[in-house]
Structure 1
Amino acid sequence: MNRLLICLVALMIGAGIARADQDDARPPIGPVLERMLVDYIRPGYAQVNTAASGLQASVAALCASPSGEKLATARSAFRTVVESWSRMEWLRLGPVMSENRLERILFFPDRKGTGRKQVQAAIASSMEAVTGVDTLAGQSVAMQGLGALEFILFGSGSDALAQSQASHRCAFALAAATNLVNLSDEIIAGWGDETGLVQAFLKPAAGNPLFRTDREALNLLLGQMIHGLEAIRDTRVNAFLDKENPDHDRPKSALFWRSGMTVPSIRADLEGLQALFNESGIEVVSKDSAPRLADTIRFEFRQAIRTAESLEAPVGDLLADRETREKLLYLDYAIKIIVGRLDQEFAQAGGLAVGFSFGDGD
């Protein structure tokens, strides 16, 4: 018995030494984190800010001189914001996670329609608190961001924005657009060089509140992609698509169905996560053990994105047509495949054990 115990201990020590040697041989994660910051995080949030500023300007022009043409411009600017935000929304890290910024930019899922009801009530009662950016920021998160703006610009009664009698509704839209500019300004400032966040993000070390080792940093970065992809399936695609029964599809439960941005936002979600994979250079951790895996993952991303690009109609029409509904089912499956590649193959190739928890670093 003692001999068996000694052998087991020796094997455990040997495995620990081998694992330490393997970790030491892996490329350092610092350059990956720096590329992620410089080539993905900062440019991505800058695009959100630029798009939000464009929406603010177009809504201000609409409010100053209402017309059908200016309403169309404001609606187009809204769609641009949705696309830019969708490319960044799954980065659940840093200043976007403070002061409810994430929910203030987009409150979803909203299964009980809380946001719509609150926005409708505010418009119906000409609620003054929603017409100033400072007072709006103190209201429910569901009334501040893209969900509220979509209803204001595309929901019932929105055509009145082309006429002067919708001045309260337009002021609400302007306050919400300005709020998006302010929130994106705050996020950009939070990722500035002088902040403690950037110093912690770039240098894993003992006592670092983000991650102590390269291994933990890899876990966090890979987890951002995996959890983001899972959320796209669970809270975006599966919000309206019932894989078992077409009669149970729910087109009006889809995010951005009023503006026709349901699938374009999903496509932008995927493009953003693909960009995170590419721009960070995270593939370096798998080069030695699985040199072709990164190309395989990129191929799977392209397949999913091309499928989304081919689905141009409103979500209700897509669900009603057998052929396009089949494409939605394939999109769901294609996302699942990418999750599997990252969660199993890439994680293992990067030195993370199968079953590694991407949520807590265990």
Structure 2
Amino acid sequence: MKRLVVALFALAISVGAARADQNTPRPPIEPVLENMLTGYIRPGYAAFEGAAAELGAAMSALCSVPSEASLETARSAFRTTVDRWGRMEWLRLGPVMSENRLERILFFPDRKGTGRKQVQAAIASKSDAVTSVESLAGQSVAMQGLGAIEFLLFGNGSDALSGSKVAHRCAFAQAAADNLVNLSEEIIAGWRDDTGLVTFFRKPGPDDPLFRTDQEALNLLLGQMIHGLEAIRDTRLSAFLNKQEPTRDRPKSALFWRAGMTLPSIEANLEGLQALFNESGIEIISKDMAPKLADAIRFEFRQAIRTAQDLDAPVSELLADPQTRDKLVYLDLAIKIIINRLDQEFAQAGGLAVGFSFGDGD
């Protein structure tokens, strides 16, 4: 717990402590924190745990009775799990940041293909170290999570899972799915009422290692959304989209391209951050100075989400068609507009100092 508190304090400090106008009244942050806990954090992780459990059950059925139908069921369960994780992925706070849980759930970016190479080597050698959840949990983070499962279910040789000659590969995927369940349960346990984290999270105070004041809490919450949106642009879209030079696009560098989940996962990311904004009720901070700003931010979120929804095709096809490629470029811009709204207008309406910036300044 001590290590977790130190990590949380470091994260809070890294977001920045802007000087607000002390004479400007501001609604208390505690209701926002409570709403975030009960309306977003707990139900979001519970949904991820439920999806991971369904994936584990689907893998068990596939390994017991291989067939094309059971393989498709497992693949569908994987897609649902990716969606549920995507909605929580950018909450970089609490137990997900301890014991490499974040990377064990999803190791990305992986520019050198480390995860794929390690998974392929384990398959080729029929390594026993990856066929039980206990032993897999001690292996490289790149072999444990969603990236590994995607290759096992959708990569080269995966169609053979519908037969009976790849028991090792199926056991590997089963262990990885069960590992996700364990990780999600650990995260859920870390957000229970009887933990020090929740005590600190609910009420800022002078001795609170997470945030000492309402303003520090606002900094951290707003920073979670802004840095998440930046990461979607920088590590998800930019992984395969080169805005300046189309000839340098890299469709096979996209996350989840094998499963056809690249754009759906980005859509889930955006919907998750929109839910964080809505469910927390953080808009109360801006009501007095900018009563219509929250609605404007919601509109921008909807624009970005609709654009992602319209891009329903493999990444390689989206990049090859000039019209859909232009939509990808627009999606990048739409996300940047949300960042600017939050980073500049909302931050100032919430009482942060003029000139304070969470953004990367591009």
**Under a length normalisation based on structure 2, what TM-score does the superposition of the two structures give?**
0.93
Is this contact kept in 1: 2:204–2:217, CA < 8 A? yes
Other-structure match for 1:197: 197
The residue type paired with residue 20 of structure 1 is Q
CA distance in 1, matches of 2:96, 2:356: 26
Is this contact kept in 1: 2:21–2:352, CA < 8 A? no
Other-structure match for 1:172: 172
The Cα shift of 1:354 comes to: 3.5
Other-structure match for 1:220: 220
2:306 is equivalent to residue 306 of structure 1: yes
The Cα shift of 1:201 comes to: 0.2
Per-residue displacement from partner, 1:280-317 (whole Å, max 9, x unpaired)? 00000000000010000000000000000001001110
Other-structure match for 2:267: 267
CA distance in 1, matches of 2:284, 2:358: 19
Other-structure match for 1:128: 128
SS at match of 2:166: helix
2:15 is equivalent to residue 21 of structure 1: no
Structural RMSD (CA) = 1.2
2:66 is equivalent to residue 78 of structure 1: no
SS at match of 1:21: coil
Other-structure match for 1:207: 207
Per-residue displacement from partner, 1:315-341 (whole Å, max 9, x unpaired)? 110000111101000000000000000
Is this contact kept in 1: 2:42–2:188, CA < 8 A? yes
Is this contact kept in 1: 2:96–2:187, CA < 8 A? yes
Other-structure match for 2:296: 296
Q: Once superposed, which parts of structure 1, at least 4 consecutive aligned residues long, lie more than 4 Å away?
A: none
Matches within 5 A, 1:1-362: 19-22=21-24, 25-356=25-356, 358=358
SS at match of 2:165: helix
By relative contact order (CA 8 Å, sep 6+), the higher-ranking structure is 2
The residue type paired with residue 178 of structure 1 is D
Per-residue displacement from partner, 1:67-121 (whole Å, max 9, x unpaired)? 0100000000000000000000000000000000000000000000000000000
Is this contact kept in 1: 2:343–2:357, CA < 8 A? no
The Cα shift of 1:260 comes to: 0.2
User: CA distance change for structure 1 residues 129 and 355 in 2, over 3 Å: closer, same or farther?
Assistant: farther
SS at match of 2:22: helix
Is this contact kept in 1: 2:20–2:351, CA < 8 A? no
User: Which deviates further from its counterpart, 346-355 or 134-143?
Assistant: 346-355
SS at match of 1:257: coil
- Structure 1 unaligned blocks of 5 or more: 1-16
| Aligned length in residues | 341
Other-structure match for 1:9: none
The Cα shift of 1:18 comes to: 9.5
Is this contact kept in 1: 2:20–2:353, CA < 8 A? no
Is this contact kept in 2: 1:220–1:358, CA < 8 A? no
CA distance in 2, matches of 1:152, 1:354: 50
CA distance in 2, matches of 1:260, 1:354: 43
SS at match of 1:271: helix
The residue type paired with residue 23 of structure 2 is D
CA distance in 2, matches of 1:305, 1:87: 13
Is this contact kept in 2: 1:264–1:309, CA < 8 A? yes
Is this contact kept in 1: 2:90–2:228, CA < 8 A? yes
The residue type paired with residue 22 of structure 2 is A
CA distance in 1, matches of 2:147, 2:161: 17
The Cα shift of 1:20 comes to: 1.9
- Structure 2 unaligned blocks of 5 or more: 1-18
CA distance in 2, matches of 1:318, 1:130: 35
CA distance in 1, matches of 2:72, 2:213: 50
The Cα shift of 1:245 comes to: 1.2
User: CA distance change for structure 1 residues 275 and 18 in 2, over 3 Å: closer, same or farther?
Assistant: closer
Is this contact kept in 2: 1:56–1:174, CA < 8 A? yes
SS at match of 1:228: helix
The residue type paired with residue 312 of structure 2 is E
CA distance in 1, matches of 2:300, 2:23: 32
CA distance in 2, matches of 1:201, 1:182: 24
CA distance in 1, matches of 2:119, 2:166: 14
**Under a length normalisation based on structure 1, what TM-score does the superposition of the two structures give?**
0.93
SS at match of 1:290: coil
CA distance in 1, matches of 2:358, 2:29: 16
Is this contact kept in 2: 1:267–1:305, CA < 8 A? yes
